Amino acid sequence: MGSITLRQVEKTYPGPKPVKVIHGVDAAIADGEFIVIVGPSGCGKSTLLRMVAGLEEITGGEISIGERVVNRLEPSERDIAMVFQNYALYPHMSVYDNMAYGLKIAKVPKAEIDTRVQKAAKILELGALLERKPRQLSGGQRQRVAMGRAIVRQPQVFLFDEPLSNLDAKLRAQTRLEIQKLHAELGVTSLFVTHDQVEAMTLAQRMIVMNGGRIEQIGTPEQVYGAPASTFVASFIGSPPMNLMSGEAAGSTFTSGGQVLPLPVPAPHGGALTLGLRPEHAQLDPAGTWPMKVDVIEMLGAERLVYGHLGTGPQAAPFTVRIDATLVPPKVGDELRLAVPPERLHWFDGDGRRVS
């Protein structure tokens, strides 16, 4: 069983002023799940992954892989395989030897090594490249070799530490598809770390969104995108991010930046709140009740992003609308009217936590 359980996991770096970077993380990952840990640089996601791998000691709490508590086990004893950002291939060895090296060290019989390497090469379409050296490969091919080296280990758990960061946009998209196919075929429990929310949304069965060494939300991509647990998640997940406006609610009106906005349904309660709306959920409508002045328009192929402000005062709240590129676009300086579907409004309290 390749399940992973984290119980109140903590990490503190010692020194004259100890620095705590992971604050009591709890998570349960089922056998065969593909989990993506996502967050900005410095949030602790790679540190958490390295603690699961055994490359970082934990300061407190407990990590279990399968039925075993692995706190005091060496990385080689945890039955995991890791794929790094920088490939970490031996430059003087062929692709075949790079993939086989770990098995040779473990004294796996030669025939078994050959069977595993050939199978992994077939899965990753590396059969024609087995005699090449890493310098003769593209970045995408090198990353596939690194994944092949992990596959031949036949571990309980795969750990991916930002493996696509060194690839260009096209190769990243191709490699994401390969990783999805790989997981569908092998079904091995996988933890994948990235700062790229597009990678997280497209790869994850469930996502762990981290901020400041804490978990902000765990859920499927649909849950995290459709019902963010905090303003941090709302602003981090989604491109462009959710429109967030701080203001005062009073019944069926919301005042932000001096602009009074009518609400299609009353706010959950009166007083200070933050109102959120995804850019694609605001609708251009001459009969709409929210006024928006256009500042900038971006053409993105199948869609346009319209940037502007709600209202015309000096404190008017910035606002973004996503529209289909087939629509006649507004012009800079135009004053639009927006209709707001009531079921698309998101509310957050003064601490940035979601309000039902």
Kindly report, residue by residue over 178-210, the tens digit of the pLDDT.
889 889 988 999 999 999 999 999 999 999 999
215 and 85 in one domain?
Answer: yes
67 and 21 in one domain?
Answer: yes
What local confidence, expressed as pLDDT, does residue 177 receive? Answer: 87
303 and 257 in one domain?
Answer: yes
**Over residues 285-307, mean pLDDT:** 94
User: 114 by DSSP, 3-state: which?
Assistant: helix
| Beta-bridge partner residues of 209 | 38, 217
252 and 220 in one domain?
Answer: no
262 and 191 in one domain?
Answer: no
What local confidence, expressed as pLDDT, does residue 125 receive? Answer: 85
Query: Mind listing the pLDDT tens digit for each residue in 232-266?
Result: 999 999 989 999 999 999 999 999 988 899 999 99
Among residues 213, 209, 215, the alpha carbon closest in space to that of 20 is found at: 213
Residue 230 tokens read as 């905090």
255 and 221 in one domain?
Answer: no
Pick the last residue of a domain from 211, 236, 261.
236
| Beta-bridge partner residues of 81 | 158
Q: Do 265 and 252 meet the contact criterion of CB atoms below 8 Å apart?
A: yes
Beta carbons within 8 Å of 233's beta carbon, 6+ residues apart: 209, 216, 217, 224
165 and 133 in one domain?
Answer: yes
User: 75 by DSSP, 3-state: which?
Assistant: helix
Query: Mind listing the pLDDT tens digit for each residue in 299-320?
Result: 999 999 999 999 767 778 899 9
User: 79 by DSSP, 3-state: which?
Assistant: coil
pLDDT band at 164; cut points 50, 70, 90? confident
132 and 60 in one domain?
Answer: yes
Query: Mind listing the pLDDT tens digit for each residue in 64-87?
Result: 999 899 999 999 899 999 988 887
Whole domain around residue 169: which residue ranges? 4-236
Beta carbons within 8 Å of 121's beta carbon, 6+ residues apart: 95, 96, 99, 127, 129, 130, 148
Mean pLDDT of the chain: 92
Beta carbons within 8 Å of 160's beta carbon, 6+ residues apart: 82, 83, 179, 190, 191, 192, 193
290 and 228 in one domain?
Answer: no
Claim: this prediction has a pTM higher than 0.95: no
193 and 116 in one domain?
Answer: yes
Beta carbons within 8 Å of 345's beta carbon, 6+ residues apart: 263, 264, 265, 275, 276, 277
CATH number at residue 54: 3.40.50.300
| Number of domains into which the chain is organized | 2
Pick the last residue of a domain from 236, 254, 277.
236
What local confidence, expressed as pLDDT, does residue 87 receive? Answer: 79
What local confidence, expressed as pLDDT, does residue 347 receive? Answer: 97
CATH number at residue 264: 2.40.50.140
Share of the chain above pLDDT 90, in %: 76
Separation of alpha carbons 292 and 290, rounded Å: 7
User: Residues, the chain, total?
Assistant: 356
| 242 secondary structure, DSSP code | P
What local confidence, expressed as pLDDT, does residue 1 receive? Answer: 64
What local confidence, expressed as pLDDT, does residue 278 receive? Answer: 97
304 and 262 in one domain?
Answer: yes
Tracing tokens 């060194």 back to the chain, one arrives at 166
Q: Do 61 and 6 meet the contact criterion of CB atoms below 8 Å apart?
A: yes
pLDDT at 144 over 90: no
126 and 17 in one domain?
Answer: yes
Pick the last residue of a domain from 236, 259, 284.
236
User: 116 by DSSP, 3-state: which?
Assistant: helix
pLDDT band at 282; cut points 50, 70, 90? very high
